[in-house]
Amino acid sequence: MKKQAHTNEQFKIGDFEFSFAKDAKVTFEDGKMSIELWTDILPFDEKLHSDNFSDFNGKEFRPGFYLSNICFPTTEVKRTITYPKDQKAFTLFEYGFNSLEFHGEIDIENEEISMQGVLKDKFDEKEEIPVFIVKHFKDGKVSPEHFVFDTDDFYGNEEFVTTAEFKGKLPKEIANLKNLTHLTLNDYKGETTIAQLTKLNYLRITNFQDDVLPDLFKNLKNLKELNLYNLKNVQQLPHSIFELNSLEKLYLGEMGLLQLSDKIGQLDNLKEFTLYQTFMDTLPKELFILPKIEQLTLQNCKFKTLPDVVPSPSLKALSLKYNDFTSLPSFLGTIDTLEIESKFKKLYVKATTETTIDGNLFKAIFDDASKTKIDKKVEKYGLEKYHKKIVDTTLNAIEYYTSEKEDYQLKGNTRFGGAPDLPKDISYPTTDGKLWVFLAQINLEELASHQEYLPKKGILYFFVDEENYYENIKVIYREDTNQLEPFEYKDVTFYADYIDEAYDGFKAKFAKRFGFLATIDQDAYDVYEDYEKFRKKINPPLVKQENTWDTFGPHSINSHVYFQGESPQEYAAQQKGGVEDDWMLLLSLVSDSHTVFGFGDAGTLNFAIRKSDLLAKKFTNVVASIESS
């Protein structure tokens, strides 16, 4: 029996009655329904409206509701929803209210939607504001294929059920769902009736507690995607899985699997395979040579290595994170999209600088006095267990702190911001006549006695077209420092339209420093305090800053810098080739209260260069990256 329709449209919130805006509408797309219930934009009265409604510009407000992706169990546009209890295949957004959420019934029938209930405060559910809304619409086409059925829904609708989700014990009547194509079984109890659902394309099974997974798959010849998750006691897959010739995607997550059968090589149509958090430490070579395999995700397992094979030409993406590899095959270098921690890259890509450059050249231990100092401090703070790692990773770094404002009395001195001192035959970088941003000039002669990796004389100039967009950079090296002249900013326009003038110029003080890793062992929290004492004693602060919001450095060369994703060196290797060890940090610029450098959100701008290019005094292939929160 059809419900009696309302004659008039209504939009009531508490004591307020509104009119629908012209853009309030109901739409149908891809068998789903979306509803936009908006009022007109109204003047906001602080005294009258502020208790329940929120303004969007200080002067106006516009309450409304947006209901998206409403699905139906049959081809009839008819459904009653108790919200928020019943949210299957349906999303509701409230707009223009002060932390208020709708609770009540939504009826869709007779080309009418009605909402009747209350708005409750998220933080005080005792407060309730009545809601009554009626909106008419013209019926459209809906499809039950999007509706996710469960035990309460499918009785009487068996012929329409194509997608269903069940938790716990299955009803016997599930075998009647002959048109079912997508099925999710949460807290699966091992019932075998699903083996009769021969039209299944998608099957997900979770939280099965027994040791042996029932052999359900022999008759599921149409299955294209199988997802098994949290079957922690299952150590072996049923062999019938490897007979699913239509299978294209296989996901195995958080299982007790000890091995994967080489019969996986029978899945000729498999395109995507995921193995996540298992006890497996080896994989069959057959997995990598499947004729249609495109993507392999092998994460958080116990793998030490991978089969050394010629992979299938179709394999384009490989994710290997959170394993503990000791060796890797060289074919990884041929994969288009590879996800793996940078520390493992050297296992399959040979560093180009390995045989031509002494890696110790960039380390603190290149200097005997520095090595002795490190050795003594390591012993003093009881860090002998980490001695090798500290020695191997500590760099011979240079740190700069901006000191006093530049007066340009000297030419060619180290300078951050301001104007560069350029030789007459070097032009200031521009694009279409607009100036790039000058960041720094580094006098190399003053560093000559403190390191062995930079040129012993000359100046390095650093420019970027926009401070927060680092695709276009220029690093210029000039060995001859005669006939330098300060560049004068007269009637100039910067390429970046948000920059009105050059940075303030500052002189800088520098010091040779030990470039330590921030944390020597992330898993050894018990040594953190000792390691911090060790670092601070061997690297005492150079600058005392009374205001913690002010920072004048350190800008640095050949240091370890903070990063959230990949290091500047790893990023450079991804962009230009090689491995992380092929690159060094030529300059790291921090956000600076003196020069008013500001990279992203108080971040750093880093310049990386190949070690071989640096030693050859070649600065045309530098890669920049920004690290910011």
**Burial of residue 384 (number of CB atoms within 10 Å: 0-12, 13-18, 19+):** exposed
Angle of helix 528-538 relative to helix 368-380, nearest 10 degrees? 140
Q: How confident is the model at residue 523 (pLDDT cuts 50, 70, 90)?
A: low
Q: Under the phi-then-psi rule, with left for phi > 0, alpha for psi from -120 to 50, and beta for the rest, what region is 351?
A: beta
What confidence tier does 158 reach under pLDDT thresholds 50, 70, 90?
A: low
pLDDT-derived band at 548 (thresholds 50, 70, 90) equals very low
Q: Give the whole-angstrom CA distance, residue 514 versus residue 531.
A: 14
Instruction: Please state the rounded mean pLDDT for residues 54-74.
Output: 88
Domains (ranges, CATH) in the chain? 10-143 (no CATH), 201-347 (3.80.10.10), 359-398+510-627 (no CATH), 407-505 (2.30.320.10)
Q: What is the C-alpha separation between 440 and 463, in angstroms, rounded?
A: 8
The bridge status of strand 42-43 relative to strand 64-70 is unpaired
pLDDT digits (tens, 9 = 90+) for 121-130: 877 767 789 9
Which residues, at least 6 apart from 315, have a Cβ–Cβ distance to it below 8 Å?
A: 288, 293, 294, 295, 296, 335
pLDDT in tens, 266-302: 999 999 999 999 989 999 999 999 999 999 999 999 9
- Is 526 or 43 the better-scoring residue by pLDDT? 43
Q: What is the pLDDT of residue 98?
A: 85
For the stretch 346-368, pLDDT in tens is: 888 765 544 467 878 999 988 88
Rounded Cα distance between 506 and 523, Å, is 41
Q: From 358, 330, 334, select the one nearest 344 (Cα to Cα).
A: 330
User: How many CB atoms are closer than 10 A to CB 390?
Assistant: 24
Q: What is the reported pLDDT for 289?
A: 97
Mean pLDDT check: name the lowest of 25-29, 168-172, 205-209.
168-172
Mean pLDDT over 529-549 rounds to 72
- The pLDDT, as a whole number, for residue 1 is 44
How confident is the model over 80-105, as pLDDT tens digits?
Answer: 888 887 766 578 899 999 888 999 99
Q: Which residues pair with 509 in a beta bridge?
A: 401
- Residue 567 makes CB contacts below 8 A (sequence gap 6+) with 342, 561, 580
Could you check whether the bond before residue 84 is cis, i.e. omega within 30 degrees of 0? yes
DSSP class of residue 501 equals S
Q: Are 130 and 118 within 8 A, CB to CB?
A: yes
The residue among 486 and 518 whose pLDDT is bigger is 486
Q: Give the Cβ contact number of residue 476 at 10 Å.
A: 18
CB-CB contact of 504 with 418 (8 Å)? yes
Which of 53, 157, 42, 142 has its CA nearest to residue 97? 53
> Within 13 Å of residue 529, how many CA atoms lie on the same side as its CB?
1
Nearby residues of 409 by Cβ (< 8 Å), 6 or more positions away:
none
Using a pLDDT cut of 90, give the percent of the chain over it: 55
Q: Give residue 375's pLDDT.
A: 92
CB atoms within 10 A of CB 113: 23
% pLDDT > 70, the chain? 92
Q: pLDDT at position 354, please?
A: 46
Amino acid at 337: T
Return the bridge partners of 475, or none. Answer: 462
In this predicted model, what pLDDT tens digit does every residue of 574-629 receive, in sequence order?
888 888 888 999 999 988 888 888 777 778 899 999 999 999 999 999 999 988 76
Q: DSSP assignment, residue 603?
A: B
Distance CA 275, CA 260 (A): 10
Length of the chain: 629
Mean confidence (pLDDT) of the chain: 87
CA dihedral 198, 203, 207, 210 (to 10 degrees): 40
Q: What is the pLDDT of residue 106?
A: 93
Q: What is the CA radius of gyration of the chain?
A: 33
Q: What's the sign of the alpha-carbon dihedral 441, 446, 450, 451? A: positive
* Helix H or strand E segment including 388: helix 387-393
Q: How do residues 112-155 score in pLDDT, each as one tens digit? A: 999 999 999 877 767 789 999 999 999 999 987 777 766 566 65
